[in-house]
Amino acid sequence: MSAPAQLTAVLEAGGPELSRQLHRTEARLSEVAEGHGAELARHASGTLAAGGKRLRPVLVFLSGGAADGLLPAAVAVELLHMATLVHDDVLDQAALRRGRATVFAGGGRRAATATGDLLFSRAFAELAATGQEAAVSALSTASSALARGELMQRADAWSDHVPPERYLERCELKTASLFSEACRLGALLGEAGAGAEAALAGFGRRIGLAFQILDDVLDVSGPVERTGKQRGADLLDGTVTLPLIVARARDSELRAMDLRSLVTEPAQAAAVCDRIAMSGALGVAREEALHQVAEAKAALSGVELPERRRRALNLLADGVVERYA
Amino acid sequence: MSAPAQLTAVLEAGGPELSRQLHRTEARLSEVAEGHGAELARHASGTLAAGGKRLRPVLVFLSGGAADGLLPAAVAVELLHMATLVHDDVLDQAALRRGRATVFAGGGRRAATATGDLLFSRAFAELAATGQEAAVSALSTASSALARGELMQRADAWSDHVPPERYLERCELKTASLFSEACRLGALLGEAGAGAEAALAGFGRRIGLAFQILDDVLDVSGPVERTGKQRGADLLDGTVTLPLIVARARDSELRAMDLRSLVTEPAQAAAVCDRIAMSGALGVAREEALHQVAEAKAALSGVELPERRRRALNLLADGVVERYA
């Protein structure tokens, strides 16, 4: 099932309440983009309007139910996610994202760095308005983790010595933490029963891990026309992912090669991706992602939830690993 | 009076309580640098240890008095300030700051961008722990303003049409807002009497404006051996400051020149700085800074404050425009 189809199933399961909440999220995101100066409006409106799956707000709403207090959290997690995308585009010197010119392409490095910082600030401003210390702490936990994950990724670039556990720790920081805190925010500000917070946060963490592992599989496997990115981008910037770790453990020639000289230009990347695929490493990584999804669903089974929300969350978990399958 | 001598006078006026508070601030800043992963410790410890004047924490303490609750705010404003410095160094590709290698120089663009983001997150985490919605809002106001100021500066780069009012608006965003919110945080979390918050925030805003104007004067005047930066850095990156605006209004030849072609390499910058100085523009800008300091002190006169703190704040206000005089 493709990603949009999978998301459609989640939205259907979530019902009209979820659709209303997502509409209000879009409206508030537009307000934020337009309410903080002409420069932000010019730079950020495109990014905000370009959409995306709004997975993190969906997690907030499905974890929290129909409570009014959820909107700031949903907006905050999406703003934080966008801030990191805008900064990533500066670092990657990316011209396009989701088919639109990036802030970097339109305004340059300085404007894009400042736009990311501003979206970041507004994320905290949204949550501050809830007056809930635990909510602001959850967001700062996630945003610290994102930055730590990036630092770890840089520290491990082109390294021969990244064990799978360290890879998973990095995925946890750079991706799973925001998924986990989105669920926690839903639980904190919403209608989740007592004790549900830890279980929902655990659910979010597991699907975040699965999401990142599958992203790393798709970087090797493509198809390019679905992912929108060339294959082997991780190889080119030295990011050591699970498929590469597993392939090198299985293929002694790949293991003997120096990572930094292995792929120095895009033309080489596809060939190395094919070699990784031939080792069977993609299957192993997919299995790991499926294992995380199974654990996520198990974490959910102990939570008291209305059937509609449980079904939507389970569909969302499945969707994470069924992208482009 | 030189900056350190001026700060010494402020510290003396502030008394042993202020010194204790600043020691605790240093200790907490070190804890933050060391408590969030080996990568942050490696990249941020140098930046944090390199010190700086800790002007913003001083404003928090002098505005708030001896209250225990001030420490998180002092740490937060300094972390936010450092986050912007780390990002600025990436954008400026700066190798040194305060005589030490920058995070950018030591770790590259990605690590430095992530380090800035992480310091940013920790700033909010510190304040979240106070459980005060108004405090988190104050910090997000300041951090949004910083980013908006940077966006405005980019939008106005090399522009022939920056009136002084727009220049001041930019100074307000990129510098004065954090000074202002530092004072507000002191008032909110400390022992300031009712009604003092707005006056203290106004004081901070005025000295922030004076601080930025004087920075822009020093960029033109030097002396390089005191500022540690080459003269005319603003001209080189297109930043239109008050000295340039005033000089162009007075010197028709300077006005007729295209800003983008006026200074394209460092060797030209010093000559244009001399020309700006000859127009008398630096005196006009200094007068504006002194006017802001006078207004700051006037704002303070209506606030009920222990004499010791009032004297220290007045000395701090004077010190902002007496740097390198």
Q: Give the pLDDT of residue B4.
A: 65
Q: Give the pLDDT of residue B3.
A: 54
Contact A150 B117 (CB under 8 A): yes
The answer, for B6 touching chain A at a CB cutoff of 8 Å, is no
Contact B152 A121 (CB under 8 A): no
CB B324 within 8 A of CB B255: no
Q: pLDDT by residue (tens digit) across B42-60?
A: 777 777 776 678 999 999 9
Residue A143 lies in a domain: yes
Here the CATH number for the domain that contains residue A272 is 1.10.600.10
Contact A148 B122 (CB under 8 A): no
Residue A323 lies in a domain: no
Residue A178, domain extent: 3-315
Place of tokens 């030295």: A238
Strand partners, B101: B96
Spacing of C-alpha B125 from chain mean position: 21
Q: What is each CA distance from B186 to B67, B210, B315, in whole angstroms?
A: 9, 20, 18
Q: pLDDT by residue (tens digit) across A197-256?
A: 999 999 999 999 999 999 999 999 987 777 777 789 899 889 999 999 999 999 999 998
Range 74-113 of A in CB contact (< 8 A) with B: 84, 87, 90-91, 107-111, 113
**pLDDT by residue, tens only, chain A of 325 residues:** 455 677 889 999 999 999 999 999 999 999 988 887 777 777 777 777 766 789 999 999 999 998 889 999 999 999 999 999 998 888 888 888 877 888 888 888 888 888 898 898 999 989 988 888 889 999 999 999 998 998 899 889 999 889 999 999 999 999 999 999 999 999 999 987 767 999 999 999 999 999 999 999 999 998 777 777 778 989 988 999 999 999 999 999 999 888 887 777 777 888 899 999 999 999 999 999 999 999 999 999 989 999 999 999 999 999 998 876 5
What gap in Å lies between CA A144 and CA A123, rounded to an integer? 13
Q: What is each CA distance from A54 to A74, A184, A301, B103, in whole angstroms?
A: 9, 16, 24, 33
Average pLDDT, integer, range B250-260: 88
The answer, for A40 touching chain B at a CB cutoff of 8 Å, is yes
**Shortest CA distance from B88: residue in chain A:** A110
Q: pLDDT by residue (tens digit) across B111-166?
A: 888 889 889 899 998 998 888 888 999 999 999 999 899 889 988 999 988 999 99
Q: What is each CA distance from A239 to A96, A280, A289, B139, B214, in whole angstroms?
A: 21, 19, 18, 34, 45
Q: pLDDT by residue (tens digit) across B265-295?
A: 777 888 899 999 999 999 999 999 999 999 9
Q: Give the pLDDT of residue A1.
A: 43
The answer, for A128 touching chain B at a CB cutoff of 8 Å, is yes
Of A37, A131, A154, nearest to B108 by CB-CB distance is A154
Looking at beta carbons, which residues of chain B come within 8 Å of A148? Answer: 36-37, 39-40, 114, 118
Query: pLDDT above 70 covers what percent of chain B?
Result: 97
* Bridging pattern class, strands B96-97 and A100-101: unpaired
**Shortest CA distance from B111: residue in chain A:** A151
Residue A137 lies in a domain: yes
The verdict on pTM exceeding 0.80 is yes
The answer, for A13 touching chain B at a CB cutoff of 8 Å, is no
Half-sphere exposure of B82 (CA within 13 A, CB side): 35
Helix-then-strand count for chain B, H and E = 17, 2
State how many domains chain A has: 1
Residue A200 lies in a domain: yes
The answer, for A144 touching chain B at a CB cutoff of 8 Å, is yes
What gap in Å lies between CA A317 and CA A10, rounded to an integer? 10
